[in-house]
Amino acid sequence: MSAIIQVKNLVKDFREIKAVDDLSFEVPEGLVYGFLGQNGAGKSTTIRMLLTLVKPTDGEIRIFGADLKKNRKEILRHVGAIIERPDLYKYLSGIENLRIFATMSGVRVTKKKLMDELDRVGLADRASSKVKTYSQGMKQRLGIATALIHDPKLIILDEPTNGLDPLGIADIRNLILHLSKDLHKTVFISSHLLSEMELIADAMLIIDKGKKVVEGNAHELFDPAKTMVQLKTTDDAAAYGKLETSELKNVLHEKRNDSIILKLHRDEIPALIKKLVQMDIGLISFDSRHSLEDYFFSLTTGQQHVESFKH
């Protein structure tokens, strides 16, 4: 499988701030590639460098196998992108907006083509409505239609579900899956929502403070054998002592300030709950999450609870 995007030792400095720090990764053709990190991690800066909106301080970017610096115009002809919220003309209709963006992209389109694109994103019945009457989710879908109008090979989306309600998020999720699975597009999507990426990404990269911290195949990263269970009890010290001398000692991971962490396969959780009750451990709360979620959460809190899977 060939790489659509190749980034090598990418650096971006803003005076004393290093927004992107020696970042390297490859995006295989035809996949949904999740690019994750908390706000301020360097995601948007990286995307702006991929789109030549920001000049790298150092490093190399190749897209479709060609040097982005030397082949900018030719490469960007085959890229569709949305950076944050789409920049639309609110007092024009959806189809008028799409026609304008087609013209800007140098694409000749018929009304049928415009309607087909609007139908693809679920907006055919609102084609003649002014954009100012659209919900935020509809605006996001229209933005994606503008990014698709010139039939790009690569689609880059920067936080496309920001500000959307659950239904809007589901609509965007289904559209991204349609682009990848049915239209065979490569989709590079940034997000700070790990749970969303679990549902759509084939592979992913997590960055923090501009550096790569975790990268890999989504199926491997979300291995159910790496499930973390967090227990809060009436007496953590006593509960930890009981667990250390029981058959559960093999899944006992660590004791934190206010909880006990066990690591096991997700399918073993029902038996674990039964065993905890039998051991007369006074549970206050029982929370399970994948170890990648626990690690991602540690980036938010600044506490490295779980070791990186890259080691």
The per-residue pLDDT for range 190-234, each reduced to its tens digit, is 998 888 888 999 999 999 889 998 899 988 888 888 888 999 999
pLDDT at 290: 81
**pLDDT surpasses 90 at 289:** no
Nearest to 201, CA basis, from 187, 184, 182: 187
In 10 A of CB 24, how many CB atoms? 14
User: Do residues 38 and 195 lie in contact, with contact meaning Cβ atoms separated by under 8 Å?
Assistant: no
As a whole number of angstroms, the distance between CA 36 and CA 192 comes to 5
User: What letter represents residue 285's amino acid?
Assistant: S
As a whole number of angstroms, the distance between CA 199 and CA 78 comes to 26
pLDDT band for 309, please (50, 70, 90 cuts): very low
pLDDT band for 306, please (50, 70, 90 cuts): very low
User: What letter represents residue 93's amino acid?
Assistant: S
Higher pLDDT, 98 or 163: 98
Question: What would the pLDDT profile of 231-262 be if each residue is shown by its tens digit?
Answer: 999 999 999 999 999 999 999 988 888 889 99
pLDDT at 308: 35
Q: Which residues contact 219 (CB under 8 A, 6 or more apart)?
A: none
The structure tokens 């909880």 sit at 259
As a whole number of angstroms, the distance between CA 115 and CA 104 comes to 18
Q: Which residues contact 218 (CB under 8 A, 6 or more apart)?
A: 34, 197, 198, 201, 202, 203, 204
Q: What is the DSSP letter of 93?
A: B
As its CATH architecture, domain 224-301 has 2-Layer Sandwich (3.30)
Q: Where in the chain is the domain with CATH 3.30.70?
A: 224-301
The structure tokens 């989709």 sit at 187
Helix (H) or strand (E) holding 168: helix 166-177
**pLDDT surpasses 50 at 303:** no
Domain 3-218 has CATH 3.40.50.300: yes
pLDDT at 253: 87
Q: Where in the chain is the domain with CATH 3.40.50.300?
A: 3-218
Its pTM stands at 0.82
User: Mean pLDDT throughout 143-165?
Assistant: 91
Share of the chain above pLDDT 70, in %: 95
As a whole number of angstroms, the distance between CA 209 and CA 68 comes to 24
**pLDDT surpasses 50 at 264:** yes
As a whole number of angstroms, the distance between CA 127 and CA 94 comes to 5
Report the DSSP beta bridge partners of residue 67.
62
**pLDDT surpasses 70 at 304:** no
